[in-house]
Amino acid sequence: MKKKHLIEDPHLEYMELAQNPGSQTAASQQPSAQPAAEFKHIGKYTPRIDGKKIVTGTAQFTQDLYVDGMLQAKILRSPHACADLVSIDLSQALSYPGVKAALKLKEGRIKWAGEQIAAVAAVDEKTAEEALKLIKVEYKVLPHVVSEEKAMEQAAPLIQDQGNVQKSNEYNRGDIEKGFKEADIVFEQTYKTSWEVHQTAETHSSLAKWDGDNLTVWDSTQAVQSVRDGLARALSIPASRVKVIKHYMGGGFGSKLGLNDHTVVAARLARETGRPVKVVLTRQENSYCVGYRPSARMTIKAGVKKDGTLVALHFKNYNCGGIGRGDRCAEPTTDVYRCPNVKVEEYSVFVNTCGSRATRAPGHTQGTFGLEGFMEELAARLGMDPLELRRKNYSAKEKGDTGNPYSTKGLDQC
């Protein structure tokens, strides 16, 4: 079949492309480029349209919004990492002057210190804070575990019925045993990364306002649509009745992707009181209630030839993201360098802390730290220049030179 050219033949049909994926060819000639000096925008400085608002302090972030009749809410959180909730008594808080509503937010098993227990909406933040102290909560405190090593022990309290250590990822390419047999040198190292909290400059905040059956939420969020859909599900109302607005956000770094629990609280308290309700988390709440980058404990074992050629790579990782599954960190190892025999085993270790959350390149940050630290040490072990070792195993395609070509990479040009 004659190959058609996409640029020369703009009528190439989609179905034909789908049925014969090789039927297109690369461009036969470079399109003629305009000289850079003639560009109108590229390479030229363009001031941000919101610059003046930012430098004059008139850019309104969620915490800066004050609307008529607005109440402020505060959330009572569990001081215990593991407990059964026996009872919550809101009566004294409800009768505190200035308090307009209070909600119970939890029943059953508490799995991390910081879980929402109850909330109060009051005329101002200080009143809400004082009222929180009047909420009586009875807990049946249970044994907990927050250390990853202890969680892996036989006697550790169970965070999940299926066990505190669960397989979260596996991958095989080639034959790892054969690879190690072919190797002149086998080298192994372990790399650990710790938890890392996003600590956005603006703490997570939401302002909720009902207009009849329609809800408007101003949220400090990276994802207005998913907050809208999450609110609709949480409140059992159609998404068409929810509008989520974000004008300015003081940093997110992944911790403001998706709906937050306190946003639902603001919406529920606003519905109950018939008034707008704002929740602004404190710096302390931002430190332990809205996620973090999970830890990793990566053991990398490589089989190499004397000249530095990788013939086997084994990546074993225990990642810990509290009550969540943590990140998969293997992709740099499976992808970046050419190696025919690769094996990956990753496990999630569960402990009694808030679940981890996406943090700027989830999994890749930990995985790249492990892999590139390993390449440095491997180069030293081989007596090789670290850049030379990387060039030696350079891969132009993902999946260790077996997948799709990289659009940009450039390590070979170093």
Partner 1 sequence: MENSRKKKKTVTRRAFLQSLSGGAVGAGVASRVLGKEPRSIQSGPGEMEVFSSKRIALTVNGKKVGFETEPGETLLQVLRDRLRLTGTKRTCNRGECGGCTVLLDGKPVYSCHILAIQAEGKDILTIEGLASGDKLHPVQQAFIDKDSYQCGFCTPGFIMSSVALLDKNKQPSLDEIKAGLSGNLCRCGNYQKIHAAVAAAADAMRRG
* Residues that bind partner 1 in the complex, under the rule CB under 8 A: 45, 47-48, 50-52, 54-61, 63-64, 66, 124-126, 199-203, 248-251, 253, 280, 282-283
* Shortest distance (Å) from residue 281 CB to partner 1: 11
Of the pair 148, 285, the CB lying nearest partner 1 is at: 285
**Closer residue to partner 1 in complex, CB, 23/287:** 287
Q: What's the CA gap between 227 and 55, in Å, rounded?
A: 29
Using the minimum distance from each CB to partner 1, give the nearer residue, 172 or 282. 282
Query: Nearest approach, Cβ of 109 to partner 1 (angstroms)?
Result: 32
Nearer to partner 1, 180 or 248 (CB): 248
Shortest Å, Cβ 253 to partner 1: 8
Distance in Å, CB of 94 to partner 1, minimum:
22
Angle between the N-to-C axes of helices 261-273 and 224-235, in degrees from 0 to 180, rounded to the nearest 10: 60
For partner 1, which is the closer residue by CB, 60 or 147? 60
Centre a 10 Å sphere on the Cβ of residue 52 and count the other Cβ atoms it contains: 11
- Report how far residue 23's alpha carbon sits from residue 6's, in angstroms, rounded to the nearest whole number: 9
Q: Which is nearer to partner 1, 98 or 251 (CB)?
A: 251
Comparison of 255 and 353: residue with beta carbon closer to partner 1: 255
**Nearest distance, CB of residue 348 and partner 1, angstroms:** 28
Supply the minimum distance, in Å, between the C-beta of residue 288 and partner 1. 15
The dihedrals phi and psi of 326, each to the nearest 5 degrees, come to 70, -165
CB of 53 to partner 1, least distance (A): 8
The structure tokens 């250390």 sit at 147
Nearest to partner 1 of 333, 359 (CB atom)? 359
Beta carbon of residue 52, minimum distance to partner 1 (angstroms, whole number): 7
> Closest distance between partner 1 and the C-beta of residue 218, in Å?
13
**Nearest distance, CB of residue 28 and partner 1, angstroms:** 40
CA–CA distance, 254 with 128 (Å, rounded to integer): 29
- Name which of 11 and 283 has its Cβ closer to partner 1: 283
Rounded least distance, CB 56 to partner 1, Å = 6
* Residue reference for tokens 């008594």: 89
Secondary structure of the chain in the HEC alphabet?
A: CCCEECCCCCCCCHHHHHHCCCCEECCCCCCCCCCHHHCCCCCCCCCCCCHHHHHHCCCCCHHHCCCCCCEEEEEEECCCCCEEEEEEECHHHHCCCCEEEEEECCCEEECCCCCEEEEEEECCHHHHHHHHCCCEEEEEECCCCCCHHHHCCCCCCCCCCCCCEEEEEEEEECCHHHHHHHCCEEEEEEEEECCECCCCCCCCEEEEEEECCEEEEEECCCCHHHHHHHHHHHHCCCHHHEEEECCCCCCCCCCCCCCCHHHHHHHHHHHHHCCCEEEECCHHHHHHCCCCECEEEEEEEEEECCCCCEEEEEEEEEEEECCECCCCCCHHHHHCECCCCEEEEEEEECCCCCCCCCCCCCCHHHHHHHHHHHHHHHHHHHCCCHHHHHHHCECCEHHHHCCCECCCCCHHHC
- Do residues 76 and 137 lie in contact, with contact meaning Cβ atoms separated by under 8 Å? yes
**Of 251 and 355, which CB lies nearer to partner 1 in the complex structure?**
251
Looking at beta carbons only, is 124 or 412 nearer to partner 1?
124
